[in-house]
Amino acid sequence: MQESLINSSFKYCEDIAKKHYENFPVASLLLPKEKRRYVYAVYSFARAADDFADEPDIMGGREKRLALLDEWNDKLKESYKGKAYDPIFIALGITVKDNKIPIETLERLLKAFRQDVIKQRYESFDEVLDYCTNSANPVGRLVLMIFGCIDTEFFKYSDKICTALQLTNFWQDVAVDLQKDRIYIPEEDMNRFGYTHEMLQNKEYNVSFKNLMEFEVNRTQKLFDEGKKLIEMCRKRNGLNKLSKELNLTWLGGTTILKKIKKINYDVFNRRPEISTLNKIELFVRTRF
């Protein structure tokens, strides 16, 4: 394959990553340049699939969205055979080959996107955690693989951070997800705190909701705390020092959102907590030095 085509495909993926707002870094300058392009390729693959799952105006509705995800899965399989024409899959094909990434890890992401199309409610926290095993945890494992780390102990702590990041996004986006008719707050937790679906649909902020969100935020913070060990593990392993800084930046980003949720007294209906540009600069400097 022509080098110019490969380079332009990776640049295409980089442009996609840089034009989307994210709470957490997507291959920041803390990562070596030669690794960043691989992360951009993976991100672009997941970003496009996520858009298929989220786009409510696709002609044909649910069935069309599922068909688009199936088509994306077919393109993924073809890229593993060295057959790719879409720039995202040209870059992804090089990425999985160079880093020996098994297709199952990427297919788990697609499984989560399909679930978003067909499942809008969760009975228990265990159900939400099961969703996170596909929607979030593969991302951390993919980044570790890009750095040549295939270690179950590292994966275990990476999963904790990634699950915490996904949960943080859920609590941050309660109002946004409601507009898509999705509720990730477990039914069992709503019942526990006496908060009804009618209250949620009306975006009713009261003591029950405040206590419910405080409960969710606290156990999410616990997952962050448990996963923080990964940062130190990477710092001590040869070749992963720069990754440890990126992970620390991601960890700080996630926990900062939780602090912002607390600061607004858990009223995520009237104000979506976000990391400002200034916050990002502060966190980057704090991590860099």
- 106 vs 284: which has the higher pLDDT: 106
3-class DSSP state of 256? helix
Is 118:148 a contact under the CB 8 Å cutoff?
no
- 159 vs 1: which has the higher pLDDT: 159
Question: Which amino acid, 32?
Answer: P
Burial 218-252 (b: 16+ CB within 10 A, else e): eebbebbebbbebbebbeebeebeebbbbbbbbbb
The secondary element (H helix, E strand) that includes residue 142 is: helix 137-146
Which spans in 187-289 are helix H? 187-192, 197-201, 207-227, 229-236, 241-263, 277-288
Confidence of residue 262 (pLDDT cuts 50, 70, 90): very high
Walk me through the domains of the chain, giving residue ranges and CATH numbers.
Answer: 1-118 (1.10.600.10), 120-289 (1.10.600.10)
User: For residue 253, what are the contacts with CB-CB under 8 A and spacing of at least 6?
Assistant: 23, 24, 25, 275, 280, 283
Tell me the C-alpha distance between 274 and 122, whole Å: 25
Question: Which amino acid, 11?
Answer: K
Answer yes or no: is pLDDT of 12 > 80: yes
| pTM (predicted TM-score) | 0.92
Give tens-digit pLDDT for 47-94: 999 989 887 666 568 889 999 999 999 999 999 999 999 999 999 999
Give tens-digit pLDDT for 198-235: 999 999 999 999 999 999 999 999 999 999 999 999 99
CA of 184: how far to CAs of 130, 200, 223, 267, in Å?
12, 12, 17, 16
Specify the range with the lowest mean pLDDT, choosing from 16-30, 62-76, 96-110. Answer: 16-30
Residue 209 confidence (pLDDT): 98
Across residues 12-19, what is the average pLDDT? Answer: 89
User: For residue 182, what are the contacts with CB-CB under 8 A and spacing of at least 6?
Assistant: 116, 120
Residue 31 confidence (pLDDT): 82
- Residue at token pair 């946004």: 176
Neighbours of 76 (CB within 10 A): 22
Is 96:76 a contact under the CB 8 Å cutoff?
no
Residue 22 confidence (pLDDT): 57
Answer yes or no: is pLDDT of 289 > 50: no
Q: Alpha-carbon Rg of the chain, whole angstroms?
A: 19
Specify the range with the lowest mean pLDDT, choosing from 137-141, 263-267, 281-285. Answer: 281-285
Give tens-digit pLDDT for 30-43: 788 889 999 999 99
Neighbours of 54 (CB within 10 A): 14
Give tens-digit pLDDT for 107-155: 999 999 999 999 999 999 999 999 999 999 999 999 999 999 999 999 9
CA of 65: how far to CAs of 6, 51, 110, 215, 245, in Å?
29, 9, 12, 34, 37
